Structure 1
């Protein structure tokens, strides 16, 4: 079982801290019937005047997805912004007259962003090398990560097929998700799946309805997977008006089934034939490399992680840190990542007080941080050579990512790069925001409460209160 690691350190001392919440934040808490003690807040001026606010700053709290900032900043400095992952195809037999006489090995390198398009290009490259038929097996090499026994997490309970719960894997393809599209045309309802996998059968029971003036925002279509051994039947029920559409993403298969099924589906579309079975094994030492695919660089990967709060990619990156620096003392790559991040913080003279890491994504009941600790990390990142890459990876208020619908038509729109965090009992923000004078602030606000309804409005008010600093006096004298 994975054991979490705790980093204890004395909190930094900041002069002239204000330990009272801004008045409008207090009002927002009362309006939404939330206890002020549930909120931890730190706001630090970075390049202009202003007073530090530190409220409940040293209380360990669950940070939800704001912990991704620790993972992604550590990766930028430890792996480097140009870091990439590779996925490779090997053969253990000769190629004659378009036939590969032997097995095809697909070796995963932990790529967080091996999507359908890049896998298609990899297999297309194999076809261009003259391979038409593979007489042997499709062998999946998933040995890159030393996998931890991660605790299962399900915030809502019930549906384990939601893509945000997909676990990391050495051979992660397309985030292990299928897109199911339902459309009503010509008096019939049609369903398609992408990628089309042999192990997933569709039982379409959706009733067509006459056309309506407008299609509903939330179509009355339900999806129920029925698992039967190595296959799944997806029962789709409900009703859909003529000309309307519905779609969803589901993760119905385990990693090996999904990877093998996707490879076979694409290989068929490319006109190839694969005669053998699917199995898992390591690439033999005497196998020869056929083709290789390289991932986008780390900067693009952390942008996906932070902008869209992608849990699977964050966990994949966390294990990549562990795999890159694994030693004999590490029980698995999660333990290695915990150790490496702790040592990195210590080297920077920036140990984060009471930090508890589990999987680096925030999809955890164990992970902990203090608002002061996370704000200190943001302070450090502001001075990093990779500050621009780190800051731009976060959602822009009112414009994109998980902040695209927040703070619209306010003075903060477009002026804050903010990572959000959400669990059933957590609402959080962390990042950088500007004030009315154009000065930048590091801000962390985390609310842990059994019923955090309205908490997002409270956190938005934190950013508005930071913006509403006293205006600086500017000289109008001519030079």
Structure 2
């Protein structure tokens, strides 16, 4: 009797393939591995589960802002696409016949990640419509749900004293304008004069301004440098540079040092403009409003599906982490608890594998997932018929997305792919991409590519990742 074992042809071929064939389907992208980068990649069809390409798909790497896809899925699962977060003005004091609130007015932050000055103005108008003309006490901004939230990333910790960006905004359930100040810079009346700088949201100045911008002759160019610093009297926007006499106004955004304090200052300005006087100023609180507090005015935020579109398309870290903090059932939540809530949601997905989430934004470089795990998440949402339209709508099409850097590759790639990207530069370089594709025959597929640098490969740009990925995905799309 023959002692030879007869193997299925597919298995036999698999055993004969060289080790480098682990990158089959991603021949262009695999060159990143040869250059020393850490890569986890996988692409597969959803109708059959056929894997079209893979490079170490179970490897745990940093996903950067691809983390936000996990947050979006968890949020839709928890609340549904039409959920709205409510912000209200309340008081346990009496409102007398003369329109005077005989005590404090409380703004209760409802955890709305997209609360804006427009919403605060609407609250002020509704309070005025209610007959309120004066508050004898203080305006108290309550962030009892969460805030101030402990910073666990370098940029956010530094932003407590100074910052030159808006992406590192600190977090609160009562934050406004994505936790950032905005000022408008316009040319002065003549060359040589200081620029005109005002708050974007009010006729009166809300944030302190240190104006070192000079107006220059027409067509001389505009160069602005802005930093928000915290001084003894509060936040100050320090602006330097020049603006051309015929230039249009420029808006400059920088993270505030205390988002609840920012809300208090902005709400006070809105009340003043509405003709409502607050006699004892403003303060912030981490205490829940008294049970006896009656709602005097309220405003509902935008539906969750619209919040996710903004969070994902613009990769807004403030919105992502505020949404994640809302997932925690207990008050005074932390980013670590928010990460636990996302992990708990994913734990119900068979075959996902390990997951580490320390935030919902991906700013925490310790977040870890794999290409295979990320694809399991995408596949899970694809089969959630009531949620999938809102989920996939938050991914960008390279042909029409808001991010110009993804507009590359052939028309096949640009028009058959929907994706979310992630970027980190410190302490390691990360470029990650995850999303859906449609083949030429109309079949749905998912793909995830995580590329992490090392100490010996510190430089990484999007062309190095997106260009080869576009070529590899184009072949898959056209072949099926």
How does the TM-score come out when normalised to structure 1? 0.84
Choose the corresponding residue for 1:237, options 229, 232, 240: 240
> What whole-Å deviation, never above 9, does each CA across 1:280-337 have from its counterpart, x for those lacking one?
24312222221221112211111111111111111011111113xx49xxx9454544
Between 1 and 2, higher relative CO (CA 8 Å, sep ≥ 6) is seen in: 1
Match of 1:19 in 2: 22
More displaced stretch, 424-433 vs 16-25: 16-25
1:295 to 274, 278, 301: 301
1:160 aligns with one of 160, 163, 176: 163
SS at match of 1:438: coil
Q: How does 1:318-467 map to 2 (within 5 A)?
A: 318-323=324-329, 326=330, 332-350=333-351, 352-385=352-385, 386-402=387-403, 405-407=406-408, 410-424=411-425, 425-450=429-454, 451-467=458-474
Aligned length: 446
Give the secondary-structure state (helix, strand or coil) at the position aligned to 1:102. Answer: coil
Matched with 2:9 is: none
Instruction: Please report how far the alpha carbon of residue 227 of structure 1 lies from its aligned counterpart in structure 2 after TM superposition.
Output: 2.7
**Distance in 2 between residues matched to 1:92 and 1:392, nearest whole Å:** 43
1:114-165 deviation digits (Å, cap 9, x = unpaired): 1111111111101001111111111121112377634133299896352211
Q: CA deviation at 1:37?
A: 4.5
**Quick one: distance in 1 between partners of 2:366 and 2:201?**
35
Q: Is the 8 A contact 1:48 1:439 kept in 2?
A: no
Query: In terms of mean alpha carbon deviation, does 153-162 or 412-421 score higher?
Result: 153-162
C-alpha contact (below 8 Å) 1:199/1:230 kept by paired residues: no
- Alpha-carbon distance between aligned partners in 1 of 2:224 and 2:148, rounded to the nearest angstrom: 37
Is this contact kept in 1: 2:311–2:320, CA < 8 A? Answer: yes
Report if aligned partners of 1:403, 1:420 keep a CA contact under 8 Å in 2.
Answer: no
Q: 1:372 to 1:255 in 2, by over 3 A?
A: same
Structure-to-structure mapping, 1:217-236, within 5 angstroms: 219-236=222-239
2:162 matches 1:193: no
- Residue pair 1:403, 1:418 contacting (<8 A) in 2 also: no
Structure 2 counterpart SS, 1:377:
helix
Say which SS state the counterpart of residue 76 (structure 1) adopts.
Answer: helix
Q: Output the aligned Cα RMSD.
A: 2.9
**What SS does the corresponding residue of 1:95 show, helix, strand or coil?**
coil
Could you list the per-position Cα deviations for residues 12-44 of structure 1 after superposition, in whole angstroms to 9, with x for gaps in the alignment?
A: xxx9896215465248749xxx72652221111
**SS of residue matched to 1:144:** coil
Write out the 4+ residue segments of structure 1 that deviate beyond 6 Å after TM superposition.
Answer: 15-18, 155-158
Contact 1:42 1:54 in 2 (8 A): yes
Which runs of structure 2 are paired with 1:74-113 in the superposition (5 Å)? Answer: 74-96=74-96, 97-113=98-114
Aligned twin of 2:187: 184
Of the three residues 193, 201, 204, the one matched with 2:211 is 204
Question: Equivalent of 2:273, from 269, 291, 298?
Answer: 269
Cα displacement (A) at 1:398: 2.8
Structure-2 residue corresponding to 1:11? none
Deviation per residue, 1:142-189 (Å, 9 max, x gap) = 112377634133299896352211122111111122222222253142
Gapped regions of structure 2 (runs ≥ 5): 1-12
Deviations 1:424-470 (A, max 9, x none): 01011101122333332201011101434334442343133222238
Partner of 2:5 in structure 1? none
Match of 2:7 in 1: none
Whole-Å Cα distance in 2 between the matches of residues 101 and 470 of structure 1?
67
Give the alignment partner of residue 315 of structure 1, picking from 312, 321, 325: 321
* Corresponding residue of 1:252: 256
Correspondence list, 1:96-175, <5 A: 96=96, 97-145=98-146, 149-154=150-155, 160-175=163-178
Q: TM-score, normalised by structure 2?
A: 0.84
- Name the CA distance, whole Å, in 2 between partners of 1:273 and 1:290: 16
Given that 2:181 and 2:207 are in contact with CA atoms closer than 8 Å, whether structure 1 keeps it comes out as: no
Q: What is the SS of the residue equivalent to 1:123?
A: helix
8 Å contact kept, 1:322–1:335: no
- The aligned counterpart of 1:4 is none
Residue 10 of structure 1: aligned partner: none
SS class of match (2:141)? strand
Contact 1:225 1:232 in 2 (8 A): yes
Query: Does structure 1 conserve the Cα–Cα contact (< 8 Å) formed by 2:29 and 2:468?
Result: no
